[in-house]
Amino acid sequence: MKNAMKFTVLLALFFVTTAINATIPQEKFQKQLLNSEYTNSKDPKTVIIRNKKGTAVYETEVTATDSKHALVRSVNLADGTYVFEIVEDSEVKLIPFIVTEGTVLLDEENTKTVFKPTLQVKDDLLLVNQLSLTQEPLNVTIYYSEEGFDLNAFGVIQSDEIKSGIILQKAYKLDKNKTGRYLVKLTSEGKVFTEMFNF
């Protein structure tokens, strides 16, 4: 009986120690996040935390300090490499950070900004634009469907790579006989953006 009791106590201590070592001290994490220029804004932003495989492990919308505090209190990350994605109207800021033995280190030097591509339909033209400070190409895939919102009904009608410097632009002629739903998938600097429109 004594051995069973000792085993239970040791097992409980093991789980408590593991849980303490696997979590971030919330005060440190909170201080670094709240002092970051990337979240100090009154405009709503989506904050996504991704692991090194690119899988989203946490996502929320941050609009005010209270929301940021709630975010910090609810995040529980194991040791590893992560990326904050702060999604705004026209750009996505990527801020790498490392969690090691309860310490959070933001890698501000390797922060990068990916500007979202923009789409505009004028008459029978689809205009695609993007600012790319890294001059990486923009991959464009245009899908078409007559059958509405069912994603399985979409077929590829155009696939292209735009590469011409810092300002990437291209106009695509839409077939006036193909009225229906269009889906445009834009891939740039490892990020995928999608947009739908009717024509």
The tens digit of pLDDT for each residue in 32-54 reads 555 555 455 556 688 899 999 99
The residue extents of the domains of the chain are 25-113, 116-198
Question: pLDDT of 74-115, one tens digit each?
Answer: 577 888 999 989 898 899 999 898 888 867 788 889 999 999
Question: For residues 155 and 146, what is the distance between their CA atoms, to the nearest angstrom?
Answer: 10
Question: For residues 176 and 154, what is the distance between their CA atoms, to the nearest angstrom?
Answer: 17
Compute and round to an integer the Cα radius of gyration of the chain. Answer: 23
pTM: 0.70
Asked: is 116-198 a CATH 2.60.40 domain? The reply is yes
What whole-number percentage of the chain has pLDDT above 90?
Answer: 43
- Distances in Å between the Cα of 71 and the Cα atoms of 48, 62, 74, 108, 152 are 11, 8, 5, 20, 36
What does the block give as tokens for 85? 């994605």
Residue pair 92/132 in contact (Cβ under 8 Å)? The answer is: no
Q: Supply the DSSP symbol for 151.
A: G
The confidence band for 158, taking pLDDT boundaries of 50, 70 and 90, is very high
Q: Is the pLDDT of residue 9 over 50?
A: no
Q: Domain 25-113 class?
A: mainly beta
Question: For residues 90 and 47, what is the distance between their CA atoms, to the nearest angstrom?
Answer: 14
Q: Which residues of 108-145 are buried (b: 16+ CB within 10 A; e: fewer)?
A: eeebebbbbbebeeeeeebebbbebeeeebbebebbbb
Nearest 5°: phi and psi at 56?
A: -70, 120
Question: For residues 158 and 141, what is the distance between their CA atoms, to the nearest angstrom?
Answer: 6
Question: pLDDT of 16-27, one tens digit each?
Answer: 444 444 444 445
Domains 25-113 and 116-198 share a fold: yes
